[in-house]
Structure 1
């Protein structure tokens, strides 16, 4: 049986140097023309040397590129969906180095009958040694044993930096929500979780975790500061009500309960930071996530009252 075809979509904006490293690593790992595999760079309105990086790889048979001038990662991912004629689209971050086992594991996973959503682990590749208070586990993404996700994890889905979706299933649910996710330099989160919820509603638990389909993801030093950690947690909490299970009212209620719990947990952990530095990290995330969720609930209730 011929294995399913896959478009490996790398969405990028103004990260030419990082993109060059990622594409060079990907080429060295998967080869010049792996059967049934194409690499598609989606340039999301770059103003730097990104076009030159892609042009410099014109001798790579597996590579092609398209443009999506409207800023927004979700929109760029939807552009990849429209540009692909493969059976699957795999979304790979522009700073992720695939493991030697990545391609074989991807092929095995997408060949499984009935599966529409596949993900693999993401391990941090630190630019610099993290400070003592920073917990490296916070930037690891693991999903348990090989097989379908279970419990609440089904609706949470996988991280978008190493995510494969069956193209017809993604098209059937309307692609990624362009109201979520990164937009140029503005931090946005939650688009993968929101998508997973819609896929589960339409196809049931058609997920598959492939532990050997891993990547090493760049973690720059600028993301290891209290300010960034708090801002990311706040944004995540603020948007959580939009992709929690159930209707709008249930989503807002779920987010409110989560906000109260996370803020209480954060406050409880804060004194531990005196003797356990990493407790500060967990306390900061809990407080910021809870505060963001409270803001999100307020917005949801105001919108509902209109």
Structure 2
């Protein structure tokens, strides 16, 4: 086949089981004859049976499926390798723990054309275990990766940004704004979006371009949710210091600490008294996020007061955590 119109990039690391289902959902996507696509898997040096899963998928798929191996650790490095290897004029980013709706890619490509946009993203719905009857708190759903911002297409803005699990980008964009920042442990997709926005590129959210995020029981446990919450709090604080400066960041830091003590803590106590379990879980996560934000801000402030002798590592750019 000649070079495809779109390269679907799937970066993966030690998730062979989930990867099999993710790739199966990409075998026969709807195109309405409007474009061609390939699936490019970037194996980020997995140590499980990921290579065997990819090889099996390559024999099963009706579309072109190929693999490259990136030994440098980190999702940003894997994505950058995929950008270099992609043969399509457009790159669709897709994660190894997702299931694509059959019309997912068609909706992204049509939306890009309709809105004359070089960057578009879609909706992320949670795929909960079959036996799950929980009515998850909205904050927990956000932590687990859900993004259902609107029922109609709308441009992204400073507060709502696309994630790299459901994103279509014209490949030429990377030549203009640069590739993913490999110095960031997470939030590299938000960092890229901010650079495209600064370059005057309007990005659009398309609610009908749907992927389903696999959410096994392990990810519903409190310990997992708290880990995501703390990491996100640290990342938000880093963004505030790096992007808004020490004075504004310190003011925000104090305000958010006061909100945690004056709002989240009393609401948590009330949820516990009234037996509202899911509200209590969500509020505890908000408090854990606030704690991560507070202690990262405290470390930043100490660094500021003590001079350059103490270095505080940047954990992330503020973003939805990868669940």
TM-score, normalised to structure 1's length? 0.84
1:132 CA drift (Å): 4.8
Residue 84 of structure 1: how far off its partner (Å): 1.5
- The alpha-carbon deviation at position 65 of structure 1 amounts to 1.1
2:150 to 138, 144, 167: 144
CA distance in 1, matches of 2:6, 2:248: 34
- Please say which structure displays the higher CA radius of gyration: 2
- Rounded Cα–Cα distance in structure 2 between residues aligned with 1:43 and 1:177: 19
Please give the per-residue CA displacement for 1:105-137, whole angstroms capped at 9, x wherever unaligned: 011023246523211111111135447584374
Partner residue of 1:158 out of 158, 162, 167? 162
Which consecutive unaligned segments of at least 5 residues does structure 2 have? 309-323
**CA gap 1:113/1:226 in 2 versus in 1, 3 angstroms:** closer
Match in the other structure for 2:319: none
Residue among 68, 88, 91 paired with 2:90: 88
2:267 is aligned to: 269
Quickly say closer, same or farther: Cα 1:92–1:151, change in 2 above 3 A.
closer
Distance 1:249 1:86, change over 3 A: farther
Provide the C-alpha distance between the structure 2 equivalents of 1:84 and 1:278, rounded to a whole number of angstroms: 43
Alpha-carbon spacing, 1:29–1:242, altered in 2? closer, same or farther (3 Å): same
2: CA distance, partners of 1:55 / 1:170: 29
1:119 maps to 2:101: no
Superposition pairs for residues 1-306 of structure 1, below 5 Å?
Answer: 5-30=5-30, 35-59=35-59, 60=61, 61-112=63-114, 114-127=116-129, 129-130=131-132, 132=134, 134-135=136-137, 137-138=141-142, 139=144, 140-149=146-155, 151-153=157-159, 156-181=160-185, 189-204=186-201, 206-244=202-240, 246-249=243-246, 252-253=249-250, 256=253, 257-274=255-272, 275=274, 276-304=276-304, 305-306=307-308
Q: Shift in Å at residue 226 of structure 1?
A: 1.5
Give the direction of change, closer, same or farther, for the CA distance of 1:291–1:180 in structure 2 (3 Å limit): same
DSSP 3-state at the match of 1:203: coil
Across the two proteins, how many residue pairs are aligned to each other? 292
For 2:204 and 2:251, locate their aligned partners in 1 and report how far apart those are by CA, in whole Å. Answer: 26
> Which blocks of at least 5 consecutive residues in structure 1 are unaligned?
182-188
Quote the offset at 1:283 in angstroms: 1.2
TM-score in terms of structure 2 length: 0.80
